Amino acid sequence: MKKDPFNVVVTGVGGQGNVLASLLIGAVLVDRGYKVTIGETYGASQRGGSVMSHLRISRDRQYGPLMPPQQADLVIALEPSEAARILGQFGNPETVSVVNSRPVYPVDVISGDITYPDLDELKEKIRSLSRESYFLPATEKALELGNPILSNIVLIGYAAGAGLLPIDVDGLEKAIAEYLSPEKVPINREAFLCGMNMVR
Amino acid sequence: MALISKDDPGRELLLMGNEAVARGALEAGISVAAAYPGNPSSEIIGSLAEVAEDMGIYVEWSVNEKVALEVAAAAAVSGLNALVAMKQNGLNVASDFLMNLNLTGIRGGLVLVVCDDPSGISSTNEQDSRILVKSADLPLLEPSTFHEAKDMVRFAFEVSREINNVCMIRSVTRISHARGNVTLGPLPSARPKPHFDTNIILSALPASLTHPTAHRRFRQAKRLLADSTFNSYQGPDTPELLVITCGSGYLFSQEAVRLLGLESRVGLLKIGTTWPLPEELILSRLRDAGRVLFIEEVDPFLEDNVLELFAEHNTTLPKVSFLGKKSGTVPDLGELSPGLIIGILADLMKVSRPHADEAYSSTATDALRNFAPARSLAFCPGCPHRASYWAVKKALALDGRDGVVFGDIGCYALGVLATGFHQSKTLHAMGSGTGMASGFGMLGRFGATQPAIALCGDSTFYHAAIPALLNALHHQSDLLMIILDNSATAMTGFQPHPGSSVNAMGSQAPAVVIEDLCTSLGLKTVIGDPFDLDESAVTIYELLQESGTKVLILRQMCALVGAKKGPRRYTVTVDQDKCLGDECGCDRFCTRVFRCPGLNWDVSLKKARVDEAICAGCGVCADICPSHAIVRERA
């Protein structure tokens, strides 16, 4: 890792598999000797609300479960407007963003009370708040694999393939088998490799 | 092999704070663990339940927190080690028993872990449990890291066995629901055989005898806690500012001090044994500190107790100025965050806080203001509660007497929000909706004409609503109790309850069937399917026209459980030829009012559209479209 602590935010909407994604990243890295702290949002927020996980990754100490403002090094966003929400609070000119392009509309947008930002303008805003940003059709890829929930692993695969996280497919397989269950390895392996292969 | 029961001493794992507590209990050799689920505490007993068979322990999801504590206490008075866990609201439920158990004491080890929820992230309140622990004369520990959470549980069992009384641990959301490195210790191989010594009577009465015993045990605990390694100081010998902190405040404060480069000016006194206090350690630090800042969540507990200690010793101590919640330096409510503490320390120490460049900050502000739309909480796609509230809304409109819905605790508490069409009018404690409806249903004698509906979930029904229902029945209160039975304790992770046919450990268990119970009491009991909107609304309307206490069970499995158990019921689409969009007189009824996350309004086409990645396939929305444009086909 280039920086210590290396701070990652995994963000999205309740039900997108955010907590699982950060658990797997953390489990792989703890196995590689890192001290990892993950702060998560649970409970009522899961019902349609924004859900973010903070990962604090360090070689030498256990950091707190929430990061200070403007300290994110990497943002993995399962939903584009959630990337903007996180960059607005935790981004800095060096932040790198990996973003699923597909919006999940808040019920407030569905009801017509507010509007969702124009997608091209939203992407431009994310670019302007990131040193590098990558936009991926992760949900579409996950639907091809049979389940939209796999978009989280597709994004991790991409981040790993782009050299943003020191994770390989073997480490991920071991973590899934140990922390979840061995039966879940094949489909997640496929999703991870799918993400990796999207790196050009 | 499950994660928390790995017999691999020295291995470092990434564990949730709650899993670390569970592991600590296993390392302490518990035999029994019990709880009623409640976030942020649920995973403690949840993870123990998963390994119960392998580890040869007994784990149960009890009907409520008081019974959970009683179950654990039975093991502890028989010489075993037992763990009980609950959220802050749960401690209120258990407190009647706790305030007597503390007087009789126990014979084995009993650790009560209470997980507080600062900011009420998954709670109705953010009450600080520590005040109750203090009035119970029990020792209290507060972990600051995940590994410490594990080790504290082991230590708490040692203390409990030593003093023959309950030892308490207070965790908070940012410990319980966070994850970090935990190094495993050894697991014990043998457990004692339980025996209740009938030569001893465990009676809290007479308090004139038992209260002094409780005080003696408390003084004994004070000596044990003062010597523990959970209290530490780091910083210069004579700091300009002494930060006294505990719980999640410790790691946040540590990072703030480092980020601001204040290591040589600010000292950190971390207190792990927050009641009774390690007095000598604190007094020795107060002698060398001119200024003290308290960092803790939620109430000024450390602050009050240290101030009291200072007052007792004021003749021998130098002048100290105290900053914290009382001085207004730290907010007296809500969660702490590193950003908050950085701001407080930077102001007090007159150093500049780290900041991004101005152009970036203004772009960031714009992103938050214009590119991050608000996300109100909402029922999941396919959630039966949305349909139930729709039927209630329709029935009350038909009835026309301005009926009142008394709500309760569970996912359906969101019924006070737009996702439940603002139908619930009260939200307090477990079972309180039925109790209040029982009272409201008696007000007809004073001329009240509004009908009363009590809404409650299946798990809440067993937990606390049954006594209220008996009260209503016995006093012939006019109310309709609607039980939203989604076959699980859904809000907290689908734990089984007495209506389930399996128990916490996955074994077959006799289900206490809600309708059998209600009909055996002579209550009029009707069962409906909330997904049948019209039928449900008519049933509710008809029941509201009858006097006395009635029960309607609206039964449909939680959408999240349903998604795990099998494929979607329906494939739902919007027939783009039939949807008239803005031309229809419905004024976007399906999206404007029904507000399901799976059904969108396509801004460019100006028509409704189903999002196939989100729709759960319940098919309910097909019934609300006046043009019949929403089509459901059996999947």
* A45 pLDDT tier (thresholds 50, 70, 90): low
Over its C-alpha atoms, chain B yields an Rg (Å, rounded) of 28
Structure tokens at B436: 């209040």
Q: What architecture is the B3-186+204-226 domain classified under in CATH?
A: 3-Layer(aba) Sandwich (3.40)
Among candidates B559, B565, B576, which has minimal Cα distance to B617?
B559
For B360, how many CA atoms within 13 A lie in the half-sphere containing its CB? 17
**Residues in chain A closer than 8 A to B490 (CB atoms):** none
Identify whether the C-beta of residue B8 lies closer than 8 Å to the C-beta of residue B184: yes
Identify whether the C-beta of residue B175 lies closer than 8 Å to the C-beta of residue B143: yes
The pLDDT of residue A57: 98
B491 to chain A, any CB pair closer than 8 A? The answer is yes
Among candidates A105, A104, A92, A101, which has minimal Cα distance to A120?
A101
Domain with CATH 3.40.50.970 in chain B: 3-186+204-226, 384-564
In tens, the pLDDT along B201-243 reads 999 999 999 999 999 999 999 999 998 999 999 999 999 999 9
Non-local CB neighbours of B65 within 8 Å, separated by 6+ positions: B35, B36, B38, B86, B90, B91, B93, B94
Query: Does the distance separating the beta carbons of A30 and B377 come in below 8 Å?
Result: no
Identify whether the C-beta of residue B36 lies closer than 8 Å to the C-beta of residue B84: no
The pLDDT of residue A44: 52
B341 min Cα distance to partner chain A (Å): 9
Q: How many residues does chain B have?
A: 635
Q: Which of residues 91-150 of A touch B (CB under 8 A)?
A: 91-93, 102, 104-112, 114-117, 121-122, 125-126, 128-129, 139, 143, 148
Residue B425 has pLDDT above 90, yes or no: yes
Residue A200 has pLDDT above 80, yes or no: no
Domain with CATH 3.30.70.20 in chain B: 567-634
In tens, the pLDDT along A165-184 reads 999 999 999 999 999 999 99
Q: Which of residues 43-102 of A touch B (CB under 8 A)?
A: 43-45, 47-50, 62-70, 81-82, 84-85, 87-89, 91-93, 102
**Residues in chain A closer than 8 A to B597 (CB atoms):** 48, 104-105, 107, 110
Identify whether the C-beta of residue B288 lies closer than 8 Å to the C-beta of residue B317: no
Q: What dotted CATH number matches B384-564?
A: 3.40.50.970
Alpha helices by DSSP H, B227-383? 249-259, 279-286, 301-312, 338-349, 358-370
Mean pLDDT on A5-15: 94
- Write the residue in B256, B592, B612 that is nearest to A111 by C-beta: B592
The pLDDT of residue B172: 97
B365 to chain A, any CB pair closer than 8 A? The answer is yes
The span from the CA of A110 to the CA of B593, in Å, is 9
Task: Name the fold adopted by B567-634.
Answer: Alpha-Beta Plaits (3.30.70)
**Residues in chain A closer than 8 A to B122 (CB atoms):** 42-45
Mean pLDDT on A15-34: 94
Sign of the dihedral through C-alpha B153, B159, B165, B170: negative
Q: Which of residues 122-141 of B touch A (CB under 8 A)?
A: 122-123
- Residue B542: count other Cβ atoms within 10 Å of its Cβ: 15
Task: Name the fold adopted by A6-197.
Answer: Pyruvate-ferredoxin Oxidoreductase; domain 3 (3.40.920)
The span from the CA of B156 to the CA of B30, in Å, is 12
Say yes or no: domain B232-349 is CATH 3.40.50.10610. no
* B635 pLDDT tier (thresholds 50, 70, 90): confident
The span from the CA of B302 to the CA of B286, in Å, is 14
* A42 pLDDT tier (thresholds 50, 70, 90): low
Domain spans of chain A, in order of start: 6-197
Chain A residue nearest residue B490, CA to CA = A43
B254 to chain A, any CB pair closer than 8 A? The answer is yes
Q: Which of residues 413-452 of B touch A (CB under 8 A)?
A: 414, 418-419
In tens, the pLDDT along B148-201 reads 999 999 999 999 999 999 999 999 999 999 999 999 999 998 889 999 999 999
Chain A residue nearest residue B37, CA to CA = A43
Q: Could you tell me how many CB contacts below 8 A there are between chain A and chain B? A: 208
The span from the CA of B176 to the CA of B478, in Å, is 43
